[in-house]
């Protein structure tokens, strides 16, 4: 929900953060976000926090700082399109530390910074903002693959539900559960939703043929207790259910469930197998409920998935720009480079990051055809995408689609990394012999016949 913060209130908040506390000690003032070196302001999907945290760790050696806000996919995209600050109610503004922790920080009070980058789980067209690609004034880079799931309580008191179909989900989330009952989801107060601007919910809506405006209790600004403003709050609401666990259900990104379960193993969430219209059974994203291998996403059996979308300001030639540091966009370009270098076409021209140590690049930032992300850095970022990011890098995908929930087609990355990905997430897939095919990085001479490349220490087919 949009909140137009008045200057006096913002100033009061800033002053309040700096006041001495009563008691024996002092609390440090909340730092300004601009006090961190080369800050890049990222807004958008709350579901993307694990990925953006992985990115913050990757770019830290370049002396780049990630400032992250989480209004949701469509609101973040609206903000960057309008070149306005993200001031939505209830969002967090955080500096993402390279070690995985976060620190609250303050935007400038009289003139808050506007987003450099927006991360969305869905295409711009799904949010209703222009064409799916080439949105006016923005460049778009496809990030790693993200699956959306139906989550229910697990652990000692789990949900009795074993799967959900597209048709059942449409009724559960679009109709009053006291009148239109799909067992076991018969308690309206335990059917949790996000606002209709949520990207994760919008992608699920495309899958189950339920437009954003038709999700019950999802209207922007709804006072419904079933509406959760962020993925973290959705996760907490589902996990907190103890009396109606079988009736409890919500929508999340798979990585939210995986990352939550990694830290809360005694009160985990379960992902329901999902049966898309036309399928004969339901599928989990991964091979088992406890695995993170996303094999059913990677091979096209689990239906609800799509790339993360990374939007940035661009000039008339498609080169990145920054509303906050127009004379030096090298930090923004550095962030984009990681997504390009690990994307669909990793050998595509990258954006020159200039001299970050000097903080200037003469304003000449553009496609230069040079590889500005080293192989070691690419390997580290791919590993971070896999875990703790819990998203699928393009090099591990075997299918591709264009458009939201569009038809799937076979895909082979120019730089495949299936073995490295599966080993990183601890997968032990049937028939896999990745661990037996280790090779010196870059040297395929010891690989079996048919394997022509050694990538990240494993034999690959190209």
DSSP labels, 298-357: HTT-S--EEEEEEEEEB-TTS-B--SS-TT--HHHHHHHHHHHHTSS-TTS--B---BTT
Nearest residue to 46 (alpha-carbon basis) of 200, 250, 206: 200
Answer yes or no: are the C-beta atoms of 139 and 312 closer than 8 Å. yes
pTM of the model: 0.87
Task: Say how far apart CA 327 and CA 73 lie, in whole Å.
Answer: 28
Answer yes or no: are the C-beta atoms of 198 and 72 closer than 8 Å. yes
Work out the angle at residue 388's Cα, subtended by the Cα atoms of residues 384 and 392, and round it to the nearest 5 degrees. 65
Answer yes or no: are the C-beta atoms of 355 and 386 closer than 8 Å. no
Task: Say how far apart CA 458 and CA 462 lie, in whole Å.
Answer: 11
Answer yes or no: are the C-beta atoms of 458 and 434 closer than 8 Å. yes
Task: Say how far apart CA 10 and CA 113 lie, in whole Å.
Answer: 13
Tens of pLDDT, residue by residue, the chain (462 residues): 333 333 233 333 333 333 333 333 434 689 999 999 999 999 999 888 889 999 999 999 889 999 999 999 999 999 999 999 999 988 999 999 999 999 999 999 888 999 999 999 999 999 988 655 456 688 899 999 999 999 999 999 999 999 999 999 999 999 999 999 999 999 999 999 999 999 999 999 999 999 999 999 999 878 789 999 899 999 999 999 988 999 999 999 999 999 999 988 888 999 999 999 999 999 999 999 888 899 999 999 999 999 999 999 988 888 889 999 998 888 999 999 999 999 998 887 777 766 554 333 333 333 333 346 888 889 999 999 998 889 999 999 999 998 999 999 999 999 999 889 998 988 766 556 676 677 876 788 888 888 888 888 888 887
What domains sit in the chain, N to C, each tagged with a CATH number? 7-143+307-383 (3.40.190.10), 145-305 (3.40.190.10), 398-460 (no CATH)
Identify the burial level of 15 via C-beta atoms within 10 angstroms of its C-beta, where 0-12 means exposed, 13-18 middle and 19 or more buried: exposed
b/e code 384-420 from CB counts within 10 Å (16+ = b): bbbbbbbbbbbbbbbbbbeebbeebeeeebebbbbbb
Answer yes or no: are the C-beta atoms of 151 and 272 closer than 8 Å. yes
């Amino acid at each position: 929900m949009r909140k137009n913060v008045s200057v006096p209130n913002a100033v009061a908040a800033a002053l309040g953060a700096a006041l001495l506390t009563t008691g024996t000690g002092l609390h440090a003032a909340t730092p300004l976000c601009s006090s961190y070196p080369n800050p890049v302001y990222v807004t958008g999907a709350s579901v993307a926090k694990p990925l953006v945290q992985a990115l913050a760790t990757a770019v830290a050696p370049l002396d780049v700082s990630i400032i992250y806000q989480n209004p949701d996919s469509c609101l973040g995209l609206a903000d960057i399109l309008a070149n306005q600050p993200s001031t939505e109610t209830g969002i967090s503004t955080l500096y993402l530390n390279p070690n995985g922790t976060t620190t609250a920080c303050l935007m400038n009070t009289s003139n808050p910074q506007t987003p450099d980058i927006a991360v969305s789980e869905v295409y711009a067209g799904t949010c209703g903002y222009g064409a799916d690609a080439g949105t006016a004034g923005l460049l778009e880079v496809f990030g790693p693959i993200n699956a959306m799931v139906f989550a229910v309580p697990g652990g000692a008191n789990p949900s009795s539900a074993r799967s959900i179909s597209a048709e059942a989900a449409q009724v559960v989330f679009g109709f009053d559960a006291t009148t239109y009952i799909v067992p076991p989801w018969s308690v309206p107060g335990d059917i949790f939703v996000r606002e209709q601007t949520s990207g994760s919910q919008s992608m699920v809506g495309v899958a189950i043929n339920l437009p954003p405006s038709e999700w019950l209790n999802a209207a922007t600004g709804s006072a419904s207790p079933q509406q959760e403003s962020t993925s973290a709050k959705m996760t907490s609401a589902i996990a907190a259910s103890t009396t109606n666990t079988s009736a409890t259900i919500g929508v999340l990104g798979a990585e939210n469930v995986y990352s939550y379960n990694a830290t809360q193993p005694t009160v985990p969430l379960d992902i329901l197998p999902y049966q898309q219209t036309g399928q004969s059974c339901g599928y989990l994203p991964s091979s088992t409920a406890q695995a993170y291998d996303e094999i059913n996403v990677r091979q096209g059996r689990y239906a609800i998935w799509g790339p993360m979308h990374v939007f940035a300001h661009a000039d008339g030639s498609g080169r990145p720009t920054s509303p906050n540091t127009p004379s030096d966009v090298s930090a923004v370009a550095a962030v984009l480079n990681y997504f390009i270098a690990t994307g669909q076409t990793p050998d595509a021209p990258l954006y020159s990051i200039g001299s970050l140590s000097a903080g200037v690049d003469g304003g000449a930032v553009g496609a230069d055809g040079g590889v500005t992300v080293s192989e070691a850095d690419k390997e580290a970022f791919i590993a971070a995408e896999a875990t703790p990011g819990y998203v699928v890098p393009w090099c591990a995908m075997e299918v591709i689609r264009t458009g939201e929930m569009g038809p799937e087609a076979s895909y082979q990355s120019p730089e495949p990394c299936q073995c490295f990905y599966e080993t990183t997430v601890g997968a032990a897939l049937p028939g896999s012999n990745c661990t037996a095919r280790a090779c010196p990085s870059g040297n395929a001479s010891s690989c079996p016949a048919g394997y022509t490349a050694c990538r990240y220490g494993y034999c690959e087919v190209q």
